[in-house]
Chain A
Amino acid sequence: MASIEIKGISKQYAGRTILSDLSLELEDGECFTLLGPSGCGKTVLLRLIAGFEAPDSGRILIGGDVVADASSGQMQPPDKRSLGMVFQDYAVWPHMTVFDNVAYPLKLAGVGADELKNRTMRCIELVGLTNLDQRFPSQLSGGQQQRVALARALVSEPQMLLLDEPLNNLDANLREEMRFEIKALQQKTGVTILYVTHDQEIALGIADRIAVMDEHGTLRQIGTPEEVYEHPADDFVFRFLGIANFLPVRREANVLHIGNSSERWTGIQPDKNWNILTAGFRPSDVVLSREGEGLPGTIRRASFLGAQFDYLIEIAGTLIRAALPSHECVARNLLFSEGDSCRINLATVQWFEGQIVAADKV
């Protein structure tokens, strides 16, 4: 198993800068998720680590050994880097059976016939494909092919596992199941995993640490899933990790008002002294009541989604969303209909400087 160190990496494609001066360290044996919107350069970073691309500047070290160094032109080819890699499109070889696909890395490593058979079968079993080992990929479902790819990446017990949106093409149930399996595998084998995705749910669920990358290839925040979710470094991170409500707030004579209105902010006070600021919160942070303390609001839309109610609420000209568990709504008489007025309290608030416009119109 190995640590991965990325030091001051830059990469350009056809004159366009994808990554510039990026540094990142993965600890030995951790499951690290790189989270970012599509096209932000996270796959490029993965390919740089794998050795399919050479950096324009900077260095990459795996397990303390330099594998790519732009200044000396040193470049270790992918096959020498002890990788397991799962590609977005599976990349399972269509002309080989499941067994042959999985056994291929061992065959290249010159593993003896008996051991090769044992290890391959063990790996096929591990990903739950027992009895399918003589099938060809065309006879498997997408999820099964994905697992073949995973088994193939794991079989040689590589130092690191690079996963590029490996669960992208699976349906929701299978995605969840595979997410748990990957996590379990990692705990069992102790392999260092770099998992690249744009799906925040998978990222939060699987990672020991998360790095959030923006569309320009800049790392906005690195931390544990809890840190990143609870204490986002900025509004990009906050927005990227789930549905985000933004409420504009201004400070006048040291009193906080909402937006341009005269409505006073009554919730949690910011610890910063900014004059123009924005309160960020999740739909689940909203605590509703019919009367009493809190910001006054009007229900603009009420949707019943089974386990929860989804309300669109207007507060002093700004629309926000609130999600309440159905049972709570029933128990506390919070079944609002359109046009009802309500009071809003917020369990937690993230404060951001300046005015932030909510990107999506709810």
Chain B
Amino acid sequence: MTTKTQSRFGTPEVLFMLSVGVLIVVVAFPMLLIFFNAFWVDGHFNVTDVVRVLQRKETYQALLNSLILSGGVTVTGTIVGTLFAWLVTRTDLPFKKTMKLLFLVPFMLPAFIGALAWKMLLSPRAGYINRLFMDVLGFDSPIFDIYSYAGIILVETMYLFPFVFIQVSGALERMDPTLEESARISGADLFTITRKITIPLVLPSILSGALLIMLYSMAHFGTVAVLGVETGIYNIPVLIYEKIHQSAGSFDSIRTATVLATVLVITAALILWLQNRVLSKGKYQIIAGKSFRPTELKLRGLRIPMLILCIAYIALTIVLPTATIFLVGGLKTYGLPFDLENLTWANYNHILFEWDLTRDSIWNSITLGLASALITMFAGVIISYVIVKMKVRGKGILEFLGMLPFSVPGSVIALGVILAWSGKFGINLYNTVWIILVAYIARYMAFSLKANSAALEQVHDSLVEAARASGASMAQALRDVVVPLVRPGMVAAFFLIFLPALRELTVSVLLYGPTTRTIGVAIYTLNEDGETVYSAALAGIALIIIVLGEVLIKRLVTSKNGA
């Protein structure tokens, strides 16, 4: 008879320790180093020094700019997102379903590529639209300067408004229409109903979406870096980048960066805390889980103008920048007009097949994306298993550690990884592809944990116990029951990580070395170096890869759900 002696240290404890170990090394240690470097000067805990760093003009300016930019983006993005959400859910706008899908497209386009396109269109001297107005239509000055606060806010709005759009259209769709109908029966007109019933009910969703916009805008590097460099507009992530890159790792610049990173982390934590409070307050029972058919407002005379507005918005924010990227990518020299004789396939050919720098970057991004997605997928499923299924004490720590990077901006993670893995602690990964991999794993672990724990929560304990009772060992039960049931969650986690990793810029721009550029870094640095045409061509290739990837996921996910 096989017997097993009970010990205090069984498989759950081993798995638990292992998970905690991984998360400490990958997540907690780099983060702690940031706080340590920010507050610990010459062996002393020192807050006055932190304050002094914050009072310096450039840090102070970065904080102010971050506030202005993210505040502006939050306001405009919320207005745009709420308006379109209302239009596609509550009015008789034509082609609503198609419009709803189109409004989600900006989510998959990287904002910094958009910024690049808008720079080509609206930079004060060379931008195609400005030139059109000045050279052809005889304007004295450019009609719009994209190198400005307003320009940056507009471009970020285009790519971040879906946060509000998704939340609000979801809430509007799930809201029980009888609530509005009963107000109507009580004699309220549609305007009063909207003001007194509808808006208060969706307000939590609007606020929570707005806070998400703010969170992302705060941490956003690409758009500000591309559009702000000419006129000296920079936010916190951009300043961190400059500190790390241009001052060759001097102690003072690293300290400034860590202080800035600390500010970012605290702000992000504050925003997420606020969002949690808003959401928990907004959990009215009246917004039920199932879908109702809400009453539609007849737009009447406004129906066609509103449709035109939507189409124009989509044309301006999606079609125009994308077309610009591909066209500029095909130009013989940047600045030439888009005549057929100026267009060539040579650039695409060059970056795809001839130029090591761009070829490497594509290869790097794909391998990094694959590797980080695979590693986080498997680590995530094990850690979620411990969190969801195992009875071990202290698993709250695991959850906290795993979800921590969710609220930590990419530049902070990159900075932490630099502090941890640049040789100070015996391992030097700086300038290698490994340091980017480590940072990606830390950054995307939360995505994997979310997807996998959601899947694991569906796997009831009794399913595993039924397997054990049928004679399966724990390993066999995992193989035959748990893994097949969790597989969809794992696939989802894989793509949730692979696609963002593919177009990632904020983290890799701080970590890249001579041969370890990612696609994002290559596009960014080519643009910085004035190789606008190649930068655009590579951006075009990136867009194709990203769109193909998204389509592939949709296919996989829908076929899974259909079965």
B3:A79 contact, CB within 8 angstroms: no
Q: Contacts of B6 on A, CB cut-off 8 Å?
A: 54, 73-75
| A229 lies within 8 A of chain B by Cβ | no
Contact string against A for B residues 445-475, beta-carbon threshold 8 Å, 1 for contact and 0 otherwise = 0000000000000001011011111111110
- Min CB distance B342 to A, Å, is 57
Q: Contacts of B480 on A, CB cut-off 8 Å?
A: 104
Of B5, B463, B466, B472, which is within 8 A of A74 by CB? B5
Report the separation of the CA atoms of residues A156 and B466 in the bound assembly, to the nearest whole angstrom.
13
Q: Contacts of B468 on A, CB cut-off 8 Å?
A: 51-52, 77-79
Residue of B nearest to A102 (CB): B470
Given known pairs A73-B6, A80-B2, the reply for A153 and B469 (CB within 8 Å) is yes
Report the separation of the CA atoms of residues A82 and B471 in the bound assembly, to the nearest whole angstrom.
7
| B232 lies within 8 A of chain A by Cβ | no
| A93 lies within 8 A of chain B by Cβ | yes
Contact string against B for A residues 52-94, beta-carbon threshold 8 Å, 1 for contact and 0 otherwise = 1010000000000100000001111111101111011101111
Report the separation of the CA atoms of residues A89 and B464 in the bound assembly, to the nearest whole angstrom.
13
B2:A108 contact, CB within 8 angstroms: no
| A50 lies within 8 A of chain B by Cβ | yes
Q: Contacts of B473 on A, CB cut-off 8 Å?
A: 77, 79
| B476 lies within 8 A of chain A by Cβ | yes
Given known pairs A75-B4, A77-B4, A93-B481, the reply for A105 and B470 (CB within 8 Å) is yes
| A331 lies within 8 A of chain B by Cβ | no
Q: Contacts of B466 on A, CB cut-off 8 Å?
A: 85, 87, 91-93, 149, 152
Contact string against B for A residues 245-257, beta-carbon threshold 8 Å, 1 for contact and 0 otherwise = 0000000000000
- Min CB distance A199 to B, Å, is 20
A83:B469 contact, CB within 8 angstroms: yes
Residue of B nearest to A156 (CB): B471
The B243-275 residues at the A interface (CB cut-off 8 A) are: none
Residue of A nearest to B465 (CB): A52
| A16 lies within 8 A of chain B by Cβ | no
Of B3, B5, B462, B484, which is within 8 A of A87 by CB? B462
| B485 lies within 8 A of chain A by Cβ | yes
Q: Contacts of B1 on A, CB cut-off 8 Å?
A: 65, 76, 80
Of B4, B462, B476, B484, which is within 8 A of A95 by CB? B484
Q: Contacts of A77 on B, CB cut-off 8 Å?
A: 2, 4, 468, 473-474
| A109 lies within 8 A of chain B by Cβ | yes
B470:A76 contact, CB within 8 angstroms: no
- Min CB distance A281 to B, Å, is 41
Taking residues whose C-beta sits less than 8 angstroms from the other chain, chain B's interface range is 20 to 34
A104:B5 contact, CB within 8 angstroms: no
Q: Contacts of A156 on B, CB cut-off 8 Å?
A: 470-471
Q: Contacts of A93 on B, CB cut-off 8 Å?
A: 463, 466-467, 481, 485
Of A54, A65, A85, A153, which is within 8 A of B465 by CB? A85
Report the separation of the CA atoms of residues A77 and B469 in the bound assembly, to the nearest whole angstrom.
9
Q: Contacts of B3 on A, CB cut-off 8 Å?
A: 74-76
B465:A105 contact, CB within 8 angstroms: no
Of B4, B5, B462, which is within 8 A of A89 by CB? B462
- Min CB distance B393 to A, Å, is 11
B472:A79 contact, CB within 8 angstroms: yes
Contact string against B for A residues 101-133, beta-carbon threshold 8 Å, 1 for contact and 0 otherwise = 000110011000000000000000000000000
Residue of B nearest to A100 (CB): B480
The B392-433 residues at the A interface (CB cut-off 8 A) are: none
The B99-157 residues at the A interface (CB cut-off 8 A) are: none
Contact string against A for B residues 320-344, beta-carbon threshold 8 Å, 1 for contact and 0 otherwise = 0000000000000000000000000
Q: Contacts of A94 on B, CB cut-off 8 Å?
A: 485
The B473-494 residues at the A interface (CB cut-off 8 A) are: 473-474, 476, 480-481, 484-485
Report the separation of the CA atoms of residues A153 and B467 in the bound assembly, to the nearest whole angstrom.
10
- Min CB distance B169 to A, Å, is 30
Q: Contacts of A74 on B, CB cut-off 8 Å?
A: 3, 5-6
Residue of B nearest to A164 (CB): B462
B2:A84 contact, CB within 8 angstroms: no
Report the separation of the CA atoms of residues A75 and B469 in the bound assembly, to the nearest whole angstrom.
15
A78:B469 contact, CB within 8 angstroms: yes
B5:A75 contact, CB within 8 angstroms: yes
Q: Contacts of A54 on B, CB cut-off 8 Å?
A: 6
Report the separation of the CA atoms of residues A51 and B474 in the bound assembly, to the nearest whole angstrom.
13
Report the separation of the CA atoms of residues A59 and B481 in the bound assembly, to the nearest whole angstrom.
31
Residue of A nearest to B481 (CB): A93
A78:B465 contact, CB within 8 angstroms: yes
Q: Contacts of A83 on B, CB cut-off 8 Å?
A: 469
Q: Contacts of A79 on B, CB cut-off 8 Å?
A: 468-473, 476
Report the separation of the CA atoms of residues A89 and B466 in the bound assembly, to the nearest whole angstrom.
11
Report the separation of the CA atoms of residues A156 and B470 in the bound assembly, to the nearest whole angstrom.
8
A108:B465 contact, CB within 8 angstroms: no
- Min CB distance A214 to B, Å, is 26
Of B462, B471, B476, which is within 8 A of A91 by CB? B462
Q: Contacts of A149 on B, CB cut-off 8 Å?
A: 466
Report the separation of the CA atoms of residues A267 and B89 in the bound assembly, to the nearest whole angstrom.
76
Report the separation of the CA atoms of residues A156 and B471 in the bound assembly, to the nearest whole angstrom.
9
- Min CB distance A32 to B, Å, is 18
Q: Contacts of A50 on B, CB cut-off 8 Å?
A: 465, 469
- Min CB distance A132 to B, Å, is 19
A89:B460 contact, CB within 8 angstroms: yes
Contact string against B for A residues 216-235, beta-carbon threshold 8 Å, 1 for contact and 0 otherwise = 00000000000000000000
Q: Contacts of B463 on A, CB cut-off 8 Å?
A: 91, 93
Contact string against A for B residues 65-109, beta-carbon threshold 8 Å, 1 for contact and 0 otherwise = 000000000000000000000000000000000000000000000
Can you list 17 A-B contacts with CB-CB less than 8 angstroms, sorted by A residue number?
Answer: A74-B5, A76-B3, A76-B4, A77-B468, A79-B468, A79-B469, A79-B476, A84-B469, A89-B460, A89-B462, A93-B481, A93-B485, A94-B485, A104-B470, A105-B471, A109-B471, A156-B471
CB within 8 Å of A: which residues of B? 1-7, 460, 462-463, 465-474, 476, 480-481, 484-485
Nearest 5 A/B pairs, CB to CB: A85-B469, A91-B462, A105-B470, A91-B466, A78-B468
Kindly list 18 other residue pairs between chains A and B, CB separation below 8 angstroms, not including A76-B3, A79-B468.
A50-B469, A52-B468, A54-B6, A73-B5, A73-B6, A75-B6, A76-B2, A78-B468, A80-B1, A80-B2, A85-B466, A87-B465, A91-B466, A93-B481, A95-B485, A105-B470, A152-B466, A153-B469
